[in-house]
Structures are given as structure tokens and as C-alpha cells.
Amino acid sequence: MSDNILDIRNLTIHYVTDKETVRAVNGINLTLKQGESLGLVGETGAGKTTTALGILRLVPNPPGKIVAGEIFYKGEDLLKKSESDMRKIRGHEISMIFQDPMTALNPVLTVGEQISEAILLHQNITPQEALQKSMDMMELVGIEGIRHSEYPHQFSGGMKQRIVIAIALACDPALLLADEPTTALDVTIQAQVIDLIENLKKKLGTSLILITHDLGVVAEVCDRVAIIYGGQIVEFAEIAMIYNNPKHPYTIGLFGSIPNFSVKAKRLKPIYGLMPDPANLPEGCTFAERCPLATDACRQGDIPNIEIEPGHWVKCIHLGV
Amino acid sequence: MAENEKPKAVLARKSQLKDIIHRFMKNKAAVLGFVIIIVLVICALFPAQIAGPDYTEQNLRNRYQPSSSEHILGTDELGRDMFTRIVWGSRTSLTIGLASIMLACSLGVTIGLIAGYYGKTVDNILMRIIDVLMAVPNVLLGISIVAALGNSTRVLVLAIGLGSMPAFARVTRSAVIMVREMEYIEAARATGASDGRIMWKYILPNSLAPIIVQVSMGLATSILTISGLSFIGLGVPAPTPEWGSMLSSGRAVIRDYPHIILYPGIAIMLSVFAFNLFGDGLRDALDPRLKT
Amino acid sequence: MIKYIGRRLLMMIPVMLGVVLLVFSMMYFSPGNPEDYILGDMATIEDKEAFREEHGLNDPFLVQYFNYLIHALQGDLGTSYTTKLPVWDEIMERFPTTFKLAVFSTFIAIVIGVSTGIISAVKQYSIWDNISRFIAIIGVSMPTFWEGLMLIILFSVILRWLPSSGFSTWRHWILPAITIGTHSASSVMRMTRSSMLEAIRQDYIRTAMAKGQKYSVVIWKHAFRNATIPVMTIIGLQFGRMLGGSAISEIVFSIPGLGNLIINAIKVKNAPLVQGGILFMAVVMSLINLLVDVLYAYVDPRIRSQYVSNKAKRKNPVAEEKAKEGV
């Protein structure tokens, strides 16, 4: 418990509009050890980004609302903190890298100003020193520091994401939330950005939650993986366990839909059907509609979270298979 | 196959219309605007039944009367019933407004469509012409046209129509420029459709939303302009009841009989207000992405 | 940048030629003769003929038009039929009043419009938002001259606080400036609100919040700076409109401004004054539009970089890297 930098319990986040209630995150439990990397894997709309925003308490409200749960960061519940205490944590203790670098930077401020802003907020230094530090950060992420006076539109997508990373890491955060940091980038740039994040993480000793739908990236970077589906963690284990011994039918399905060049398969096995509408989640297991093993028992009550081997949790009632 | 497609398209259009109406009806302000517009239209269609047929009936012994059971809104400087004149005034404002906007819309949309579709030199020339019209303040343009051609209803329609035309041209042009790049236009061109056909059958229907909104907003502005021109004596000739000229004749006695100023002004404000609300509501309903 | 301004000024020339043609032909083809209005009924036919001859009114249309143009290009807008003074002097005598009134009113419009617009956007759908939106839509729906009259009734007639007409002391300025200012404040408010709502939804707002920045600072530093362009456009438009379009308000408050001058000139077919006055307004409005466009570049670096001449441009980094990445 004490070596956990982050301990999320039963986190539940809903988006409430006058028309409907979208249940984006439904009772998520997660732990992250100091210095560890956790992969949060799931399809679009599974609740990954909402979870990350929930940790920073930046879920847009209205319509978003953290309905229940606790988020212990270094032993203190973030959900009980005041807004001004949260501001001291954001960008300083916990930082976030956003999905789309094209829109994540303010077009009318220089990149230097945008990096310095984060530094000035949390460190008691002069604007000149902050600018110098911003230039150092830019060098660290592989951009010439003299370009600090340029504007976001003068950089390419990959470069912009490097700047977003520089902003996130400017104050040496203890925990970094990376929300699909490579999805919006070209394939060739993706590897560079992932390498950059991994190296910086090692250099700075940051703990990391990497949100992605790319199992390959997770295998490369992460120590543990949480598979998220319909706002719930359906499987949570160390990386080797999940890759060698996936248990949840959804996880198995995910692996089935990834091309594997070492085995000559005739065709990929897709997971049929679509994610359930989060405004209208079915009772019981949210994956039942698409699951090849589903029985009537899957469609009722709460599905238990079972620890099938030490550190390997699965939310499924068909574990004999 | 082809037989199946058509009903589907019609169905899609129908449900789209249903969506738009649904979104519009949920907007209380827009519905309020719509209700006021309906009242206005009824007043304009049946003024005689609502307020009596004779808006010129004078009674010089009964000048400047305040509200009473006989004259709900009092009487004016010639002892004419204000309520009657205001109700008849709706006919004047709406007809001139509607006619001038129809003129502005047909001219403006055509120019905008051609300028946006052909681009380059054609666009440049047409838009410079629009610039000329926009460079002259609307009120002064209206005044000089009316002064030049005399004040009749027809000239007013022309003056206000010309003044409102640039807005239609610009709105249409920017919508067309966006639609022009769509793939279905490319597809239509690939089937060998002529420029005219592409413009009228493909581009215009897909650029309609902002134009419809502009019609409502333009009506609001043109009602304001009509009253402004009449106020300075260059609008509808007497004795046709018009709200702006009622204000103008009340101006001299503003110190003693403010009610003569009050009611016609409220009539102008309410109708402009209604078309503004209606236009706002239409914009939100037609394009939910723009909803603010 | 200077190149851009130069090009824009060049582009104004054909538009101004068009304005002159438009106004000139309207005055030319309108029925009635200026000499009848100006010399009055007492004038003899010989007097009238002399007047026509003196002002070149017997020349063919095109000759008159080109004569006017040639003089106008030399800065000579002709002389007013009624006062025999140069049109330019007449305009210059009235313009400062109209201009001051417009500046005053614009100031009111910006202060009220921008602040209420921002609050409305930040507190979207709150009671404040609903009330101020309602007032704003009423504000754009009121005819300015009526609003002016109502203010006169309230403040001059009933309360007797302020004078109702004339333009000699600062107290005379208050009612007209409020009348014109509140009207355009409504438009400014509506535009500020919608562009702020747009800006607040952008991802960079979330980035700024994630840095630990205060919400109020995020609104000013990040959202508002991005929302200014449409707001500036509408303010520029309103300012131009005030210079020309507050003519009716000038009449309501008996202000000796440019609009008032032109309207009276139109009524007596004092063609040189009408043409000169409208041309002058058109030039001023175009210059204001240009100024607003230049201000865009000051606010938005993306627009600024478009103006930088190709030579001075740093080898376009976006295109370069895009090419590198194969975008």
C-alpha cells in the first residue's frame, strides 16, 4: 500500500445531460507503484481519457461528474482536496500529455511562453530563468532551444507533441498521464515519441500511466497492463502474465485482432459487434453482447473481480476456460 | 437497387427535417419569436377585421388622447386611433420587408453562387461590386436612392433590397466555397453535369442553411431600415400607416404626449425582436454544431 | 506587412471608383434640378441657366463624371451649391463631431459588450447568461432613434437630468453616446459570447488547466486572446457603421455631424456635398476595415506569418517537416 504512488478505488464518473446519463467510468480500481509504468488499454470510448482527467479532477463539469470513489495519491485522497490544492498538484506532481498535439497548444502564444507558464506556476523563479529552463526542456525533448519564440503553427505534429511533453515534464512531475500520445501522429514519428517518453521516464524516475489502444506499445514500455472495457477494468496484470496467459475473453479477442508475423494466420480474428452505448449499459458483464462464451449468468448481477494468480485480476465468470 | 435508394433518401431528408423541427421547438426563445411572427402576419393579413377598416379617420377634437376604452392606445396628432394605425402598420412593414428581402435574396444568392463557384477573376469582380455597395452606409444608400427616385413603396423595396443584398452574397459565397470542395460535387462533375446544374442542383441545396437564417435576420434589419427612412421623412408616403413615420410625427410633441412615441416603437422592436429570435433559433436548429 | 497594406490600399481604388459612379449616377439621374432647390422660386430662367453652366451641369454624363473624378483625384471635391464653401472644408468641419461621438460610443460598446459577453460565456446557461442574452437581443432589436427618443423622454423630460439636443458640453454627449453605444454593445456582446464559448471548448484550455493554472487566468490569457478576432471584426464594423449610419441618431439629438450634413444635402440635391461626403465615408470605412485586418496580424501569429514576404520568411518549417514526415 505505501509503495503505491496512486491507488484508485471504485472511481465512477458520469456525464449527465438533460437527455441521458452517460456512464463513462464505472467503479474502476487501479494501483500504480512508484516508478512503475502502467498501460491502460481499451477501445475508443471505453473511458480511458475520462479516467485520466478524473485523476487531475479536470472532467468537464457540467456535464461530467465524479459520482463516487477515491483517488489516493501519495496516500491522500485527491477527491477531497480543495481546488487550490489541486492546482498545486496539476502540472507539478501530476502532469498529462494530451492526445492531439495539433490542438493542445495555444496558437497565439509562443511555445516558450507555454512551457514557462507551467514552470512559473510551480517554481519561485524569474521569468528569465523560467525561459532558460523552457529552452533546456526543449533541448531535452529534441528541439533547438532558440525556437522558443516560435508559435505552434511553425512546428510539425511530431514537434508539437514534443513540446506538449516538455510542458508536462517541465516541473519534474512524480506521475505522468500520457493519453494516447502517439495516435494523432505518423507511424514513423510514433516510435520516436514513445522512445522519448520512455527515456525521459527512466531519466526522471517518473511513474507513468500510458493510455493507448496499441498493445505493441504497451509491451514495449509498460510493467503492468489494465484492460478497460465499457468503463470497467476487465483484466489487470503484469505484462508477461497478460501476454502469455490472457484470461478475459475481451483480452483474448484483442490479441486475436492483432496481426502476428511469427505465426502465419490466414486472417485476423476481429471482435464482432460494437461497444455498448455507455448511456445505456447492459446489466451484468458489459462485454456479454460480443462475447463468444456469454451465458445467461453473464447478463445479471455484478461480475466479481477474481485474482486467478498473484497480481492477475480478471472480471469474468468463465475462468475455467 | 435504384428503386430502394430513392425512398431512403427521401426518408433521410424527412427525418432530418423532423430533427430540425424538434430542435427548434425545444428552443423556447425561438418559439416565442415564431409566435410573435404569426401574430404579426395575422395582423398584416386581416387588419380591418382586427382594428377596423379606417386608419385615416380623423377627429381633430380628439387629438393626443391617452389610452381609453374607446382608443386602447390613444389617438395621434390628427385624432386618429393609434391601435388601428399600428395594426395596419404591420402590413406596411411586412410587405416592404418581405419584398425587399426577396429582391436581396435572389440577387445576392445568384451573385454569391456564381462568385463562389467560379472563383478567381469572376469572384474578384463580383465581390468588388459587393464591396462598393457595402462601402456606402446602408442608411445613406437608402436615403440617396429614395431621394433620387422619389418615395414610393417600389423605390423603398429597391433601396432596402440593394442595401441588404451584400449580406446574402457574402453568406452564400462562403457557404458555396465550403460545399464546392465536397466529394459529391466532384462525383457530380464526373457524371458530366453542367456547371449550371451543379450550382443549382447540388451546391445551392447544400448551402441553404445560412441563407435561410440570413432571410430572417435580413427581415429584422429591413424592418429597422424602413422605419428609419420613414422617420426622416423619406419612407412610405402619407397617409399609409407606418411605424417610423408615426414616430416622426410624434417627435414634435415628445414632451407632452410621450405615448405617441412609445407604442409604434414597441411595435417595431417586437417585430425585429421576433425575427432575430427566430433567426437565432433557426441557426441553432439547422446546424447543431454551431449551437452556442 | 507594408507590402500587404500597400496592396490593400491599391485594391481600394476600384471600389472607390465604383462608389463615386454609384452616387454620381444616382444624383445625376434623379428627377428635379438642383438649381430649382437651391436658387428658389424667385430665380429667373437666366439665373438658373447661369447656375447650370457654372457647375457644368449641361455637359454629358460621362464628361461630368470624369471631370469630377479628375478633380477628386487632385483632392478637390468641388464646392457646395448652398454655402459656396469647398466640400472638403464642410466635411472637415463636421467630421470631428461624428468621429468623437463614434469613439465615445464604441468605448461604451466595448466596455459593456466584451465584459458581459465573457461572463455569459463562462457561466453559460446561468441566470446571468439568460438575462444578458435577452437584453442583448432586445438591444439589437430597438431602432436607435427610438431608443434615443425614449432616453430623451426619461432623462430630459421626466428627470430633467440631461439636455436633449445640441452638442456643446460633455453633458450633451451622454445620451447620444449611450444610445448608439448600447445598441452596438448588444452586437459586441453576442459575438464575444459565441467566440468565447468556441475558445473555451478548445483543447489548449485543458492543457493550460493541466498545468495548474487558475481558471480566471486561463480565461483571459488563453481563451480571450483566441476569441478576439471575431470580436475585433464586429467592433470595427460597428465603428464604421457609426461614422456613417448614426445619421438618424444625429438628427434625433440635433447633432451637427457628418450624417446630418449629408442627409440635408440629399434633400436639396446638393450633389457635390453628397458625393464628397459619401465618398469620404466610404474611404474612412475601408481604412477602418484595413486597420482591423492589420490588427488581426498583431493578435494571431498564424495570420502574421502569411503577411511576411516570401523572401524574409524563414524556410517554411511546417512545410519542410510535413514533407519529412510524409504528411
pLDDT tens for C151-173 read: 888 888 888 888 777 777 778 88
Grid cell 463614434 is found at C102
Best mean pLDDT range from A256-265, B206-215, C35-44, C45-54 = B206-215
The mean of the pLDDT values for chain A is 84
pLDDT category at C311 given cuts 50, 70, 90 is very low
**Quick one: pLDDT at residue A264?**
62
Grid cell 508536462 is found at A168
**Quick one: pLDDT at residue C319?**
41
Continuous segment of H or E residues that includes residue B110: helix B82-118
Average pLDDT over residues C201-227: 90
**Quick one: pLDDT at residue B209?**
85
Query: Per-residue DSSP letters for B138-172?
Result: HHHHHHHHHHHH-S-HHHHHHHHHHHHHHHHHHHH
Average pLDDT over residues A177-193: 81
Cα–Cα distance measured from residue A34 to residue C118, given in angstroms and rounded to the nearest whole number = 43
Cell of A172: 519534474
- Chain A CB contacts of C204 under 8 Å are 103-107
Identity at A271, one-letter amino acid code:
I
Contacts of B52 (CB under 8 A, 6+ apart): B81, B84
Cα–Cα distance measured from residue B253 to residue B260, given in angstroms and rounded to the nearest whole number = 8
Beta bridge partners of A179: A211
Average pLDDT over residues C256-275: 86
Contacts of B182 (CB under 8 A, 6+ apart): B206
| Chain C interface, best mutation among A92, A117, A146, by max C CB count within 10 A | A117
Identity at B289, one-letter amino acid code:
R
Q: Flag if A186 and C327 touch (Cβ within 8 Å).
A: yes
- CA nearest to B233 within chain C: C267
Condensed to tens digits (0 to 9), the pLDDT of residues C193-209 reads 989 988 988 889 999 99
Q: Flag if C142 and B269 touch (Cβ within 8 Å).
A: yes
Q: Flag if B273 and C247 touch (Cβ within 8 Å).
A: no
Grid cell 441563407 is found at B211
Cα–Cα distance measured from residue A236 to residue A225, given in angstroms and rounded to the nearest whole number = 6
Specify the pairing of strand A37-41 against strand A306-309. Answer: unpaired
Continuous segment of H or E residues that includes residue A41: strand A37-41
Res C145 pLDDT > 50: yes
Identity at B282, one-letter amino acid code:
L
Condensed to tens digits (0 to 9), the pLDDT of residues A96-151 reads 988 888 889 999 999 999 999 999 998 889 999 999 999 988 988 888 888 999 99
pTM for the structure as a whole:
0.83
Angle at CA of residue B91, ends B88 and B94, nearest 5°: 145
Q: Any CB–CB contact under 8 A between A140 and chain C?
A: no
Q: Flag if B224 and C197 touch (Cβ within 8 Å).
A: no
Measure CB to CB from residue C263 to each of B136, B232, B277 and give the nearest one: B232
Q: Any CB–CB contact under 8 A between A40 and chain C?
A: no
**Quick one: pLDDT at residue B4?**
42
**Quick one: pLDDT at residue A261?**
62
Grid cell 512551457 is found at A115
Grid cell 421623412 is found at B233
- Chain C CB contacts of B269 under 8 Å are 138, 141-143, 146
> How close, in Å, is residue A88 to chain C by CA atoms?
6
Q: Flag if C207 and A186 touch (Cβ within 8 Å).
A: no
Q: Flag if B220 and C141 touch (Cβ within 8 Å).
A: yes
Tell me which of A178-187, B211-220, C32-41, C228-237 is least confident: C32-41
Q: Which residues of chain C approach chain A closer than 8 Å at the C-beta?
A: 202-204, 206-214, 221-222, 225-226, 299-302, 305, 314, 317-318, 321-322, 324-327
Average pLDDT over residues A55-75: 85
Cα–Cα distance measured from residue C147 to residue C182, given in angstroms and rounded to the nearest whole number = 10
Average pLDDT over residues A171-192: 83
Q: Flag if C211 and A151 touch (Cβ within 8 Å).
A: no
Cα–Cα distance measured from residue B119 to residue B127, given in angstroms and rounded to the nearest whole number = 10
**Quick one: pLDDT at residue A35?**
85
| Chain A interface, best mutation among C129, C195, C211, by max A CB count within 10 A | C211
Q: Flag if C243 and B149 touch (Cβ within 8 Å).
A: no
Q: Flag if A167 and C202 touch (Cβ within 8 Å).
A: no
Cα–Cα distance measured from residue B64 to residue B67, given in angstroms and rounded to the nearest whole number = 10
Q: Flag if B140 and C281 touch (Cβ within 8 Å).
A: yes
Within 284-323 of C, beta carbons closer than 8 Å to B belong to 285-286
Average pLDDT over residues A178-197: 81
**Quick one: pLDDT at residue B112?**
92
Cα–Cα distance measured from residue B194 to residue B119, given in angstroms and rounded to the nearest whole number = 17
Q: Any CB–CB contact under 8 A between B292 and chain C?
A: yes
Neighbours of chain C (3+ CB pairs under 8 A): A, B
Q: Any CB–CB contact under 8 A between A259 and chain C?
A: no
Q: Any CB–CB contact under 8 A between A108 and chain C?
A: yes
b or e along B107-116 (b: 16 or more beta carbons within 10 Å of the residue's beta carbon)?
Answer: bbbbbbbbbb
Condensed to tens digits (0 to 9), the pLDDT of residues B135-156 reads 888 888 888 888 778 778 888 9
Identity at B114, one-letter amino acid code:
I
Res C322 pLDDT > 70: no
Q: Any CB–CB contact under 8 A between C191 and chain B?
A: no
Cα–Cα distance measured from residue B200 to residue B106, given in angstroms and rounded to the nearest whole number = 13
Q: Flag if B145 and C146 touch (Cβ within 8 Å).
A: no
Cα–Cα distance measured from residue A280 to residue C46, given in angstroms and rounded to the nearest whole number = 92
> How close, in Å, is residue C78 to chain A by CA atoms?
48
Q: Could you give the C-alpha distances from A251 to A287, B247, C203, in angstroms and in order?
A: 11, 77, 31
For residue A266, give the DSSP letter.
Answer: S
Q: Flag if B254 and C143 touch (Cβ within 8 Å).
A: no
> How close, in Å, is residue A89 to chain C by CA atoms?
7
Cell of C268: 436639396
Q: Are C8 and B121 in contact (CB under 8 A)?
A: no
Res C314 pLDDT > 70: no
> How close, in Å, is residue A174 to chain C by CA atoms?
14
> How close, in Å, is residue C295 to chain A by CA atoms?
13
Cα–Cα distance measured from residue A235 to residue A242, given in angstroms and rounded to the nearest whole number = 8
- Chain C CB contacts of B231 under 8 Å are 143, 145, 248
User: What residue ranges of chain B have pLDDT lower than 50?
Assistant: 1-9, 290-292
- CA nearest to A166 within chain C: C211
Q: Are C51 and B162 in contact (CB under 8 A)?
A: no
Q: Any CB–CB contact under 8 A between C267 and chain B?
A: yes
pLDDT category at C325 given cuts 50, 70, 90 is very low
- Number of helices and strands in chain A (H, E): 10, 12
**Quick one: pLDDT at residue B103?**
96
Res A263 pLDDT > 70: no
**Quick one: pLDDT at residue C327?**
31
Q: Any CB–CB contact under 8 A between C230 and chain B?
A: no
Identity at B187, one-letter amino acid code:
A
Tell me which of A264-273, A289-298, C229-238 is least confident: A264-273
Measure CB to CB from residue A98 to each of C203, C221, C321 and give the nearest one: C203
3-class DSSP assignment, residue C253: coil
> How close, in Å, is residue C231 to chain A by CA atoms?
16
The mean of the pLDDT values for chain B is 83
Q: Are B211 and B175 in contact (CB under 8 A)?
A: yes
CA dihedral B261, B262, B268, B269 (to 10 degrees): 140
Q: Which residue has the higher pLDDT, A224 or A190?
A: A224
Tell me which of A293-297, B140-144, C135-139 is least confident: A293-297
Res C266 pLDDT > 70: yes
The span from the first CA to the last CA of chain A, in angstroms, equals 32
